[in-house]
Structure 1
Amino acid sequence: MEKNRKIVGLCGSLRKGSYNAMLLKFAGTLIPEDIDFEIVSFDDVPVYNADDDTPAVEERPATVVKFRDALAKADAFVIASPEYNYSIPGGLKNAIDWASRGKDAPLMHKPVAMMGATQGMWGTVRMQTAFLPVFTFLNMNPVLQPEVLIAQAQNKFDADGKLTDEKTISLIKRKIENLINACKV
């Protein structure tokens, strides 16, 4: 019997009403029912400190263990994130740092689909580019096409947080299909 596959979503914004949270929820609706989808939060993960992550330390902080365990169950990841200061938001990068350490790093060798929404004109292109060295270090399999760079997000979601832009919806559908195909390899 084949085990159910699982995709974990990470949102780079902790803000209430985040366009990226809306984007991630929409992406989750496109994942077939035979694949589990879970959005995992990192809002309680402490700032990375190597002193708390050495062989001499018996166990990492409990919130980190919980976060890493949730990621370890994933066959692939979807990350939806804004761009802060032309790069990866600090909270998301911190969580990735905790998940990248050790031989049991739960992100290693797994497919990942990156997307982002912003109210600005660049659609998170710099943030997504900033992730490429991280994916290389983790030997992840980034699903690069199609790029989902949602500019002027305030015009593409309605008042209820529903994505309404058909071109964007089409791109996200293709991105999720490509991620699922990457899981089969």
Structure 2
Amino acid sequence: MNLLLFAGSLRTESFNRKLLAVAQGILTETPEHKVTVADLKTLALPVYDGDIEAAGMPESVKTLGQLIQSADALVISSPEYNASISSPLKNAIDWVSRLRPIPLEKKPVLLMGTSPGAFGSIRGLGHTRAPFETLGSFLYPQPFAVPKAAEAFLPSGDLADPATKQKLKALLQNYVHFAQNLSVK
């Protein structure tokens, strides 16, 4: 299975990048999985602007679209911004939605995230579902949120709580099974 992972955060030391790295480690334990990690910061997508689009689709948008199109499934780890979708992720979705065919259409998506608060990023992930649903993505019904992000990771970057890591591992296994059963490619 070809999996594309990316964080909905630009910050270098983002807790969501850390959570994504843990997920990447779990997914690469299975040799038949090809895991690619995209970096929205490196892609440097401009803020969506119809004038920019009219002048020509930015290469970074085309690159992200190609990465999504070539993936069998997506795993996205995103913070919540004021209990809603993060602006870098929303911007990426808005740009990719302008490509034809729409790369997110019929694409299995797992949403997860972490934030410093007691709810993890669960409130934001609820809002994050909407644009994916509108674009015809197949959202995995169970999001994953890690609360108290500042305490959730060891200095090594791994999750501090073994039970949380085990829940993430089980979720990722179930999600991969879900994505494989969709047979959308």
Measured in 2, the distance between the counterparts of 1:102 and 1:66 equals 11
CA contact (8 A) 2:22 2:157 kept: no
The residue aligned with 1:182 is 178
Aligned residue-pair number? 177
Where structure 1 has 5 or more consecutive residues not aligned to the other structure, the ranges are none
Q: Secondary structure at the match of 1:173?
A: helix
Offset from partner CA, 1:87-110 (integer Å, 9 cap, x none): 111111101111122431111111
The residue aligned with 2:65 is 68
CA contact (8 A) 1:148 1:168 kept: no
CA contact (8 A) 1:48 1:94 kept: yes
Q: Relative to total residues, which structure has the larger helix share, 1 or 2?
A: 2
Q: How far did residue 52 of structure 1 move?
A: 3.4
| Percent sequence identity over aligned pairs | 32
Indicate yes or no: 2:16 matched with 1:42: no
Letter in 1 for 2:119: W
Offset from partner CA, 1:16-55 (integer Å, 9 cap, x none): 221110100110112222111111112211111123335x
CA contact (8 A) 1:9 1:38 kept: yes
Letter in 2 for 1:120: G
Measured in 2, the distance between the counterparts of 1:133 and 1:82 equals 16
CA contact (8 A) 2:118 2:147 kept: yes
The residue aligned with 2:90 is 93
Q: Say what the alpha-carbon RMSD is for the aligned residues.
A: 1.5
CA contact (8 A) 1:12 1:80 kept: yes
Offset from partner CA, 1:157-183 (integer Å, 9 cap, x none): 112222121221122112211221122
Indicate yes or no: 2:139 matched with 1:142: yes
Offset from partner CA, 1:41-80 (integer Å, 9 cap, x none): 12211111123335xx5x4111211221122111110010
Q: How far did residue 144 of structure 1 move?
A: 2.0
Measured in 2, the distance between the counterparts of 1:64 and 1:15 equals 19
Given candidates 80, 103, 119, the residue that maps to 1:83 is: 80
Letter in 2 for 1:109: K
